[in-house]
Amino acid sequence: MTEDEMIWDLSQMVESTDPTSIQKKLESMIVEAEKVRDKYHGKIGGLDAKGVLQLLEMKDAYTLKFEGVVKYCRLMYSANSTDTVAKQLNDAARRAYMKVGQALAFVDIELGKLLAKDPSLVADPVLAEYRHYLERVLRKVPHMLSEPEERLIIMKDKNGIAAWEMLQSDWLSTRTFDIEIEGKTKTLPYGEIIGLYQSPNRDLRKQANQIVYENLGKDEIIWASAIRAVCEDHIQMCKLRKYPISMTQSLIANDVDRQTIDSLMHTIEKNVSLYQRYLRLKAKLMGLDRLANYDVVAPLPNAPEMDYSWGQSHSEIVDAYMGFDEQMGGWVDEMFERRHIDGEVRKGKSSGAFCSSWMAGKSAYILQSFNKKMGDVYTQAHELGHAAHAYLGSRAQKPSNLEVGSCIAETGSIFGELLLTERLLSKAKTKEEKQAIIANVLDEFGMAAFQVSARVFFEQSMYDTIKRGEFLDGETVAKLWVTARDRIYGDSVDWLGVMKWEWTMKIHYYIANYRFYNYPYVFAQLFVFALYKLYKEQDKSFVPKFKRLLAAGSSKAPRELAAELGLDITDERFWEKGMKQAEEFIDMLEDTL
Ligand SMILES: [Zn+2]
């Protein structure tokens, strides 16, 4: 294995990597957007079906033409933010992207007005390929305000409601925490101290939680002001935009309906005892009477230290996908062969991991920091599931149909993790290895499906409290959080008192115009578990159906995509299938005792 294998080759995305030629291409991107504006601004209202088709096809061709250069700049920067050229190019790309956004903002607004005037266009056979895209544009129309109003809101929000988010993230990124590690006091930034939550040392985990939340709680007055302002602003905006419930904006953005999400959340509530059963089992595995909050996602104390080389990870993951489908396995292998994965650990590289699709190249790029741990292999399998999704989607759909919402976007990736789990379990030699693998799957499932559900209940309860005319001070918000949390955990976990301040650190609560970011995680997790259960029941006949679902991109709503597989996501029985799969994993874990 050469070092180079772990460093991606971004040059495939551009005709030339010469910075001057890249700058030129970015400039021509702006010029072409302005040409589109000159041609169509103020005229979309007069288009017939053929005219709309031309407009959308041109928009898609434009996306494909310039996607590579923009992503090249972004990815180069995320791979090395200390590189001067990368910094300049990323900056230039961002500026160009913003200018293009401004120049073309009129398209959806004018298109929305046209569709509102003539809704029959949505079903016009000429526009069949864009049907759902147009449906989504139309769904937003009744909630749009006049152009001057929209402009004013954007302008006022920037230094108004959106400033709370900045304050929250500035607070977190500038605070340091003193903690005693092996007899020495260390001063750690927030980003580092939270890494200790996963420490194998139980006392250290406890200390880290205690110190962080105690400090966050000291500034409760700031957090309460922020969250109150953001929630009250949302209630005002709901009135102004005529959203019937506080979740409507989010339902539209995620392309789902209330019936589906109600059915999902009921299923969660009905199954809290299943999750609690796992938490009690985990306590037993950890030799505890009951888990404390800092044990919930902690590693098992007797988990074996397993190391995976880059080559091992590559072959395990390819085999995992190959066992499901040869075409998908082949694409996963291609991601390695074409060097589309950046796994090298180095300074200046952005933290975390992501997969960026490359529609024009019908492929994708992945960034991660590969540290040889089982978690890194899982991350790789996860991101490669996103890549397989991109391979299928970009072969079947136009860019307008590849704006996949959060509920469906994680389908390929979480499914890929389960394929890897199957593979690793089949090769596990010891009981401890098996326990570590299953607990890892169930920890993630528990966090995404159940812990996040507590956040859904919590967010809803804040709007309800404000609407009842009550004031949200820090203690009131903390009480709402604890109530929501206890609906999920019951008495299965002991909480440190300071954990009532847990809501203070979740950035999402403070992001303006981004309400109910949470249930899509719940949806994705349970959706994939249900699909995986079906795969186990139907075996090979399930494979083409699953690939069709991924290939559909955003050309259909999640409800329709599921219906094509004969599934009704508005029915709680569908979601129960996902729970059944979780139960099987819990049984499997119990059998190892
Ligand atoms: Zn993902």
**Over 34-79, what HEC string results?**
HHHHHHHCCCHHHCCHHHHHHHHHHHHHHHHHHHHHHHHHHHHHHH
Q: What is the pLDDT of residue 102?
A: 86
Q: What is the pLDDT of residue 493?
A: 98
Distance 364 CA to ligand 1 centre (A): 13
Distance CA 537, CA 528 (A): 14
The CA 554 to ligand 1 mean position distance, Å, reads: 16
Q: How far is the CA of 382 from the centre of ligand 1 (A)?
A: 6
Give backbone dihedrals phi and psi of 355, rounded to 5 degrees, phi first.
-120, 125
Helices 519-538 & 572-591 angle (0-180, nearest 10): 70
Closest CA to 80 of 476, 347, 456: 347
* Whole-number pLDDT of residue 174: 87
Cα of 385 from ligand 1 centre, angstroms: 8
| Nearest 10 degrees: Cα torsion 432, 436, 442, 448 | 170
CA of 54 to the centre of ligand 1 (A): 34
Query: What tokens appear for 66 in the block?
Result: 């310039």
Span from the CA of 420 to the centroid of ligand 1 (angstroms): 15
Distance from Cα 409 to the centre of ligand 1, integer Å: 7
Query: Contact, 369 vs 337, CB < 8 A?
Result: no
Res 587 pLDDT > 60: yes
**How close is the Cα of 229 to the center of ligand 1, in Å?**
31
The answer to whether domain 305-429 has CATH 3.40.390 is: yes
- What distance in Å separates the CA atoms of residue 527 and residue 414, rounded to the nearest whole number? 10
pLDDT tier at 2, thresholds 50, 70, 90: low
The per-residue pLDDT for 352 is 84
- Distance between Cα 458 and ligand 1 center (Å): 24
pLDDT tens digits along 149-190: 888 888 888 888 888 988 888 888 888 999 999 999 999 998
Structure confidence at residue 156 (pLDDT)? 87
pLDDT at site 330: 98
C-alpha span between 268 and 582 (Å, rounded): 12
- Which range among 57-71, 88-102, 387-401 shows the weakest confidence by mean pLDDT? 88-102
**Mean pLDDT value of segment 250-255:** 96
pLDDT level of residue 3 (50, 70, 90 thresholds): low
Inter-residue contact 224 to 472 (CB < 8 Å): yes
Q: Are 437 and 428 in contact (CB under 8 A)?
A: yes
| pLDDT, mean of residues 385-414 | 97
Average pLDDT value over all residues in the chain: 95
Residue 385 has phi, psi (to 5 degrees) of -65, -40
Q: How far is the CA of 437 from the centre of ligand 1 (A)?
A: 19
- What is the structure's pLDDT at 165? 87
Amino acid at 32: E
Q: pLDDT tens for residues 350-360? A: 878 999 999 99
Give the domain ranges of the chain.
8-144, 234-304+444-593, 305-429
Can you list the positions of beta strands (E) in 105-172? none
Task: Tell me, in angstroms, the distance from the centre of ligand 1 to residue 412's CA.
Answer: 9
524 CA to centre of ligand 1 in angstroms: 10
Distance (Å) from CA 410 to ligand 1 centroid: 5
The Cα–Cα gap between 482 and 65 comes to 50
Distance 92 CA to ligand 1 centre (A): 27
What's the CA-to-centroid distance between 321 and ligand 1, angstroms? 17
- What pLDDT is attached to residue 334? 98
| Percentage of the residues of the chain whose pLDDT score is greater than 90 | 87
Is domain 8-144 classified as CATH 3.40.1410.10?
A: no
* CATH, domain range 234-304+444-593: 1.10.1370.20
Per-residue pLDDT, averaged over 423-444, amounts to 95
pLDDT at 4: 82
**243 Cα–ligand 1 center, Å:** 29
What separation in Å is there between the alpha carbon of 10 and the centre of ligand 1?
21
234 and 511 in contact (C-beta within 8 Å)?
no
Q: Is the C-alpha dihedral spanning 484, 487, 492, 494 positive or negative?
A: positive
CA of 191 to the centre of ligand 1 (A): 20
Q: What is the Å distance from ligand 1's center to 44 Cα?
A: 36
Query: How close is the Cα of 440 to the center of ligand 1, in Å?
Result: 16
In angstroms, what is the span from residue 118 Cα to ligand 1's centroid?
Answer: 38
Question: Is the pLDDT at 319 greater than 60, yes or no?
Answer: yes
Which residue's entry shows tokens 């109003």?
149
Centre of ligand 1 to C-alpha 521, Å, is 10
Asked whether the predicted pLDDT for residue 491 surpasses 80, the reply is yes
Task: Report the pLDDT value the prediction gives residue 216, as an integer from 0 to 100.
Answer: 95
Task: Write the DSSP assignment of 414-426 as a string of letters.
Answer: HHHHHHHHHHHHH
Q: What is the pLDDT of residues 554-586, one digit of tens each?
A: 999 999 999 999 999 999 999 999 999 999 999
Instruction: Tell me how far the alpha carbon of residue 572 lies from the centroid of ligand 1, in angstroms.
Output: 25
Q: How far is the CA of 353 from the centre of ligand 1 (A)?
A: 9
Contact 515, 234 (CB under 8 A): yes
Ligand 1 centroid from CA 379, angstroms: 9
What tens digit of pLDDT does each residue of 33-92 get?
999 999 999 999 999 999 999 999 999 999 999 999 999 999 999 999 889 999 999 999
Instruction: Give the Å distance between the CA of 413 and the centre of ligand 1.
Output: 6
Q: Is 391 exposed, middle or buried (0-12, 13-18, 19+ CB in 10 A)?
A: buried
Sign of the alpha-carbon torsion through 462, 467, 468, 470: positive
What does the pLDDT average to over 498-527?
A: 93
CA of 427 to the centre of ligand 1 (A): 25
Distance from the alpha carbon of residue 125 to the mean position of ligand 1, in angstroms = 35
CA distance 79 to 267: 41
Is the per-residue pLDDT at 469 higher than 60?
yes
